[in-house]
Amino acid sequence: MFYSVKFFERIKVDDPIFALSVHGMAGVWGTLSTGLFAALVIMKKLMNGLRVTVEEELVGLDLSEHGSCGYPEAFAAKEQRIVK
């Protein structure tokens, strides 16, 4: 509210009880934020459709999506320690 009061004073709008600053700016913010948060909710619903299954997540996306290990040297080092 403080900055909207200063803005309207600077552009010389006669608003002695600050009704435009209080109600006008709150209305503008309410309108914009409704659209913003509605878009975020819609994006969240769309993005949840892109999630992989729990099994694919546990196996790892390298194997489930691409069919190969992303870091084969890490698995080779682990196997060598087990063999010894």
Question: What pTM does this model have?
Answer: 0.47
Q: Can you spell out the DSSP letters for the chain?
A: -HHHHHHHHHTT---TT-HIIIIIHHHHHHHHHHHHHHHHHHHHHHHHTTPPPHHHHHH-HIIIIISS-S-HHHHHHHHHHHH-
> What would the mean pLDDT of 44-72 be, rounded to a whole number?
80
Give the tens place of pLDDT for each residue, 3-29. Answer: 888 998 999 999 889 899 899 999 999
- Kindly state the percentage of the chain with pLDDT values over 90: 21
Q: Is the pLDDT of residue 49 over 70?
A: no
